[in-house]
Structure 1
Amino acid sequence: MDASFGPFWMTRKEEMFSVEGTIPGVLEIARRKWPDKEAVVYRDQRINFAKLKELSDIAAKGFIAIGVNPGDHVGFIMGNYPQFVWLQFGVIAVGAKVVPINVSLKADEIKFILQTAEITTLIINDHFRDIDYLTILGEMIPKYCEYEPGEVNDPSLPRLRNIIIFDSGGSSSSNVFTVDQLMDLGRQRLEGRSAPKPEPSDYAFIMFTSGTTAFPKGAIQTHRAILTGGYYSGKALSLDSTDKYLCVSPFYHVAGLVTGLYSCLVHGAALHLMEFFDADEAAQTIAREKITAGWGLGVMFLRIIESARRLGLDISHLKKALIPTGGNTFEKVVKELQLEVATNSYALTEGAGPVSIMLPDDRNWEKRRNSQGRALPGIEVRIIDRKTGTRLPPGNVGEICFRGWSNILGYYNMPEETSAAADREGFFHTQDMGEVDEEGYLYYRGRYKHIIKTGGENVSQLEVETFLEDKTPWVKRAGVVGIPDRRWGEAVTALVQLKPNVVVTAEELQNYMKGKIAGFKIPKHILLIEGHEWPLRPTKKLDKQKLRDMALSKLGIVSRD
């Protein structure tokens, strides 16, 4: 059924949620349907849906007490803690908007987002892993600890009024305003202010893109997009109220927020939190809690499997997985875990999560293994020629474009970028390469910015990586970059991690590729590295800039970029 235009969308025949619902409304539905069922689990904290709603209401009263108003933007720099879950519900309940911020950013990067998104209240960890956020705060706002709630006054951040410290380890000084104090204010307040009733088309979140090639942009997401994205993510996993879902992706990414938090909310599953991904801890959590479902890149699941074997853990309850990785890796994870439900998707920040996905009733294994599924109901996908703007027929690689209920309202405070992102017909241009086959399955082929221009030819980094990992018998993981080359312009360069107990030379790999892939796609340089050397971003994806720097260093090349 078309979730964009129909009056209802359903988890099962007997369970309905209105498409025209909003986040506060769906939270209330969850409280009524599953009051005593666990909603959020973190270490020894176990919060059922009734308690989650209660904590959210208290937080909302606390926000009102410190002057958070409808339409305000509240920034979060927090790890995956239960407090994030109920605080963001509290923000939305008072009509304000949530702005999750990457926990790895430095002072200048954070300040850019605070300024761009016009943040009025900032909720920030005192520390997270090895990052001291109080020091970062001091760099941005030297007198931050002198301000009372509602009285922050820094000329460089004229909209900021409140700073709230989340004391995750009990180490914050007494002269800062904390989340605990906010909750105490909420408990003391007898009544909350009645907030304007939101509409599904109103925005609830500003999700910032990763900004790997330019300044990050704040994608404006509606209630409808977040909830419907969560619904379809859960539907693809056959998620229901008996499931226990392990969330290893941070909430500032749609994989954590939409595929994790809001998928569990809509379907009544228990959201089990990890502060950050650690394979040993993930395996231990899966075994201890009998986790049944989760999201993760293929390499993340393989690391969990390795940890479980080494630690002697039973992770056999894990039967449902969303694995945004295709090919041999996808197949290996499915077989190793003996998954009953395994799905792939094409998702991005600007799509509020999945734009296409493999739903459970699709039984075509080859499509499930190799494609990113079909466009979701209510979303239309086109492949276009970037140079001419014309629509390409099935089987041709071009730019992936889409429109539908998941479209962002724009980039906050960036009118030029907003105008350039979509065409006159409302199709968002992703800058991703892909193709659609005759049956409507989408195949992601990489980023246009990850194209190597070598000898007048264009080479997709992803295509060469996939070939090395799937079509050669020796390679466990590959990362491909382009490096400066006087003859070719750019030289295709592969960094390769071999499978255990394998011995092969770079020349032997190159010779094996001849005749199996176009000659100009065969790497001019193949560098063998160990698993611990991969430079990873917080999402566990390869950091291509650092990978390129590594290749240049190993080859002794000084970049003139």
Structure 2
Amino acid sequence: MDLAYWPADTSSPVLELSTGDLLREAADAAGDDIALIEVVPPGTPSLSGATETNRRWTYRELLTEAERCAHWLLAKFTPGERITVWAPNIPEWIILQYGSALAGLVVVTANPALRAAELRYVLEQSRSAGLFHTAEFRGSDMTAIVREATPGLPELRETFCFADWPDTVGTHRTGGPLLTVRAGDAAQIQYTSGTTGFPKGALLHHRGLVTNARFMIDRTQLPRRGTMVSAMPLFHTAGCAMGVLGSAHQRATYVLCQLFDPTLVLTAAQDHRADLLAGVPTMLIAMLSHPELDRFDLSNLSRVLSGGSPVPPELVHRVEQRFSVQFTTVYGQTELSPVVTQTSPDDSPEDKAATAGRPLPQLEVAVRDPITGDTVPVGQPGEICARGYQTMLGYFDMPDRTAETIDPDGWLHTGDLGVLDNRGYLRVTGRLKDMIIRGGENIYATEIEQVLFTHPGIRDVTVLGLPDPTWGEIVAAVFVPGQPEKVPNAAQLHDFCRTHLAPHKTPVRWFQAGELPLTGSGKIQKFRLRDQIDRAELQELPNERN
């Protein structure tokens, strides 16, 4: 292997199943097993509006509710139409996901934190015929936002609040045949590029979502009929595909946390004897920082799954040691349904800490020169490209953007930078747009971030380039201190970096933040940080060495 190209492993078949087919198979095989458990903060209601909390469904009950939902949907919509789900983690989200699949509708997922103009963009660009929403989320009156966002949208015929579910969908008739939905049919539109601010709707098909979830959960090694606890958002593929569909493949119980709160998630993992805990790095950091972590009994926990943003090697070590588990990291993109590579719990500590694992089955991966398009030699950096069954159908109604991303040979260009070794292990080094070019030198932000994550005074950090008249760009770091009363100064951070990094890689500007702005999938929104720096909204540490 001289070139950074990994051929597809064809030993495991691509599954010709729709999302609805997967649920039917699970209900046939494990109908009485618990499929879904709702977890809400103590003393608070379900955001669905349901009067009960901490509800649960068997696989047979979940299928019955999904079929009821499908019949209700077909009384209002035509197969192939798009419906937007604008809601946090509620069980009805999952029922609607399966019901839409059985009805041949396309689910458009929307972050419940969107404001009126952002929601209107999603509805208008996707040409949604229906909108499903909760009444409120984190203090926002979502019904009022809907009234502001929806006037004059010609395609939108129905808006529906989940609080009305029990008296509408919940009482609809069941029975009667449903149409056949093919594996290659469109299943979801997921809006992506939240890190750059330009939303594109990735149109995903059932085959990609269902098969990718199978391969991912196999490598994760979730036990058959085990339990997975997750607060990952359902509006992202990490929740509705990896979590929901991955659990269904294993006939496992999916414990759905209504929101991320360290105490809530740790309690759920304890009370439901989780085998697998899923979370983006910021979630895991928050759980490790819980002041009463020792009081939680996590003795049944054997796996922790993470991704969504670069996973620092130090975090892998801390999680494995603190929780006595095996760590598995996924790397992927929404456009690829979503997982491209993944470490195995059986990988060496070095590979789990330093790489994003090997490609999942049935996927080709290559690292290419971003200028020439040629495959680079093994061990050399370049743009990560992938080709296989799981590639999106395209960006909805954006043919030019699709053509920019998927080349004529079917390769999807991720925009991510990485290095592939001769064993097929991939190391992700950053984003093409995040590469810092200082005086002609290419600097990878991820390398610096991994060093800073080991500093005892830093809880979370990101590195970015800022314009400079002399160097073109300079290196800057934005960090969240581990203890607000013990913030390291710029000189201390500079000296720490210089023991691990070359001078040109050491940040020359340091900014302190309370939290880092994230997309729904847990990626840091660097463009928002640049805006905050431009507006002098972040506290900059004095640096006498500049």
With normalisation by structure 1, the TM-score equals: 0.86
- C-alpha distance in 1 between matches for 2:394 and 2:9: 19
The answer for the alignment partner of 1:171 in structure 2 is none
User: Shift of the alpha carbon at 1:242?
Assistant: 3.1
List per-residue Cα deviations over 1:432-451 (Å, max 9, x = no partner): 11110111101111111212
- C-alpha distance in 2 between matches for 1:233 and 1:71: 28
* 8 A Cα contact 1:237 1:343, kept in partner: yes
List per-residue Cα deviations over 1:343-372 (Å, max 9, x = no partner): 112111011121111235x53321122111
* 8 A Cα contact 1:74 1:121, kept in partner: yes
The answer for the alignment partner of 2:432 in structure 1 is 448
User: Shift of the alpha carbon at 1:27?
Assistant: 1.0
The question of 1:347 aligning with 2:343 is answered: no
The question of 1:525 aligning with 2:504 is answered: no
Picking from 168, 183, 189, the partner of 1:200 is 183
Letter in 1 for 2:125: T
The question of 1:128 aligning with 2:137 is answered: yes
The answer for the alignment partner of 1:331 in structure 2 is 317
Distance 1:276 1:473, change over 3 A: closer
Letter in 2 for 1:547: L
- C-alpha distance in 1 between matches for 2:32 and 2:247: 15
Listed as ranges, the matches of 1:271-290 within 5 Å are 271-290=254-273
Distance 1:290 1:136, change over 3 A: same
With normalisation by structure 2, the TM-score equals: 0.88
List per-residue Cα deviations over 1:130-154 (Å, max 9, x = no partner): 2211111111235xxxxxxxxxxxx
Q: Secondary structure at the match of 1:299?
A: helix
User: Shift of the alpha carbon at 1:3?
Assistant: 9.5
The question of 1:41 aligning with 2:37 is answered: yes
Distance 1:392 1:293, change over 3 A: same
User: Shift of the alpha carbon at 1:209?
Assistant: 0.7
- C-alpha distance in 2 between matches for 1:110 and 1:193: 34
The question of 1:59 aligning with 2:59 is answered: no
The answer for the alignment partner of 1:367 in structure 2 is 351
Listed as ranges, the matches of 1:472-511 within 5 Å are 475-499=458-482, 504-511=488-495
Listed as ranges, the matches of 1:127-206 within 5 Å are 127-142=136-151, 156-167=152-163, 178-184=164-170, 186-187=172-173, 191-192=175-176, 194-195=178-179, 197-206=180-189
User: Shift of the alpha carbon at 1:550?
Assistant: 4.2
The question of 1:259 aligning with 2:242 is answered: yes
Listed as ranges, the matches of 1:65-76 within 5 Å are 65=75, 67-76=76-85
Distance 1:226 1:466, change over 3 A: same
Q: Secondary structure at the match of 2:394?
A: coil
Distance 1:213 1:459, change over 3 A: same
Letter in 2 for 1:63: L
Listed as ranges, the matches of 1:353-392 within 5 Å are 353-360=338-345, 362-392=346-376
Q: CA RMSD in A?
A: 2.4
List per-residue Cα deviations over 1:36-55 (Å, max 9, x = no partner): 11101013201000100010
Picking from 394, 410, 413, the partner of 1:426 is 410
* 8 A Cα contact 1:446 1:460, kept in partner: yes
* 8 A Cα contact 1:227 1:262, kept in partner: yes
- C-alpha distance in 2 between matches for 1:276 and 1:139: 25
The answer for the alignment partner of 1:153 in structure 2 is none
Letter in 1 for 2:342: I
Letter in 2 for 1:61: H
Picking from 18, 25, 40, the partner of 2:21 is 25
- C-alpha distance in 2 between matches for 1:286 and 1:525: 40
Gaps of 5+ in 1: 10-17, 143-155, 168-177
Q: Secondary structure at the match of 1:344?
A: strand
* 8 A Cα contact 2:236 2:520, kept in partner: no
The question of 1:545 aligning with 2:527 is answered: yes
The question of 1:78 aligning with 2:61 is answered: no
Gaps of 5+ in 2: 1-6, 40-53
* 8 A Cα contact 1:204 1:221, kept in partner: yes
The answer for the alignment partner of 1:88 in structure 2 is 97
List per-residue Cα deviations over 1:261-315 (Å, max 9, x = no partner): 1101111110111122111111121122222212112332232233372582222
Q: Secondary structure at the match of 1:493?
A: strand
Distance 1:536 1:97, change over 3 A: closer
Distance 1:128 1:55, change over 3 A: same
- C-alpha distance in 2 between matches for 1:321 and 1:506: 34
Distance 1:96 1:244, change over 3 A: same
User: Shift of the alpha carbon at 1:99?
Assistant: 1.2
Q: Secondary structure at the match of 2:187?
A: strand
- C-alpha distance in 2 between matches for 1:249 and 1:110: 21
Aligned length: 515
- C-alpha distance in 1 between matches for 2:481 and 2:117: 39
Runs of 4 or more off by more than 6 Å in structure 1?
none
- C-alpha distance in 2 between matches for 1:494 and 1:95: 47
User: Shift of the alpha carbon at 1:511?
Assistant: 3.1
The structure with higher relative contact order (CA 8 Å, sep 6+) is: 2
Letter in 2 for 1:48: T
- C-alpha distance in 2 between matches for 1:72 and 1:344: 35
Letter in 2 for 1:129: R
The question of 1:398 aligning with 2:382 is answered: yes
Picking from 292, 295, 306, the partner of 1:312 is 295
* 8 A Cα contact 1:201 1:222, kept in partner: yes
* 8 A Cα contact 1:64 1:192, kept in partner: no
The answer for the alignment partner of 2:223 in structure 1 is 240
List per-residue Cα deviations over 1:406-459 (Å, max 9, x = no partner): 111111111101111111211100111111011110111111121223223232
Q: Secondary structure at the match of 1:345?
A: strand
Distance 1:371 1:3, change over 3 A: closer
* 8 A Cα contact 1:287 1:314, kept in partner: yes
List per-residue Cα deviations over 1:529-552 (Å, max 9, x = no partner): 36x344444444433233334445
Letter in 2 for 1:353: P
User: Shift of the alpha carbon at 1:525?
Assistant: 1.6
* 8 A Cα contact 1:60 1:192, kept in partner: no
* 8 A Cα contact 2:72 2:169, kept in partner: yes
* 8 A Cα contact 2:510 2:541, kept in partner: no
Distance 1:5 1:236, change over 3 A: closer
